[in-house]
């Protein structure tokens, strides 16, 4: 007997506890909705909790099915490629216009600032 079959009663108990807990929380939210301070948010939660309980049971059933008949393994030997044209093309960088007088003036200003900073770092305080 496999170890997964030995654990099955514990998993069933866990699924039952989880599903009952979700249903209890749904009932609690329903009573909160019906109270004087209840809001539509409580109604939304009251409708969500049974779906969570259903998901617990569904996930367990899927787990048992995969345990009995595992899904077919994927072909890892084949090379997979992304088809051409699927992804958008990256934009190409544009070269800056070197004839722009404002850009030349700004670069000269930056060079002057860098030079004055370098001169300040070379000074020593006495």
Task: Report how far residue 34's alpha carbon sits from residue 60's, in angstroms, rounded to the nearest whole number.
Answer: 33
User: Which residues fall within 8 angstroms of residue 29, CB to CB, at 6 or more apart?
Assistant: 42, 43, 45, 46, 49
Question: What does the pLDDT read at residue 124?
Answer: 63
* Contact by Cβ (8 Å): 30, 46: yes
Question: What does the pLDDT read at residue 68?
Answer: 83
**Nearest in space to 15 (alpha carbons), one of 62, 71, 68:** 62
Task: Report how far residue 26's alpha carbon sits from residue 53's, in angstroms, rounded to the nearest whole number.
Answer: 9
Question: What does the pLDDT read at residue 72?
Answer: 80
Task: Report how far residue 101's alpha carbon sits from residue 2's, in angstroms, rounded to the nearest whole number.
Answer: 80
Tokens of 92: 């190409």
* Contact by Cβ (8 Å): 4, 67: yes
Question: What does the pLDDT read at residue 13?
Answer: 94
pLDDT string in tens for the chain (126-residue length): 566 677 888 899 999 999 999 999 999 999 999 999 889 999 999 999 999 999 999 999 999 888 888 778 777 777 778 788 888 888 888 876 678 888 889 999 999 999 988 887 776 655
């Amino acid at each position: 007997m496999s170890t997964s079959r030995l654990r099955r009663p514990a998993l069933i108990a866990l699924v039952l506890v989880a599903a009952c807990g979700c249903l209890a929380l749904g009932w609690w939210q329903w009573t909160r909705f019906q109270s004087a301070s209840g809001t539509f948010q409580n109604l939304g939660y009251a409708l969500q909790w049974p779906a969570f309980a259903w998901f617990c049971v569904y996930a367990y059933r899927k787990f048992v099915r995969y345990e009995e008949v595992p899904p077919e393994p994927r072909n890892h030997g084949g090379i997979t490629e992304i088809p051409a044209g699927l992804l958008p093309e990256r934009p190409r960088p544009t070269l800056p216009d070197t004839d722009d007088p404002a850009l030349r003036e700004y670069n000269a200003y930056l060079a002057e600032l860098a030079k004055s900073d370098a001169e300040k770092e070379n000074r020593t305080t006495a």
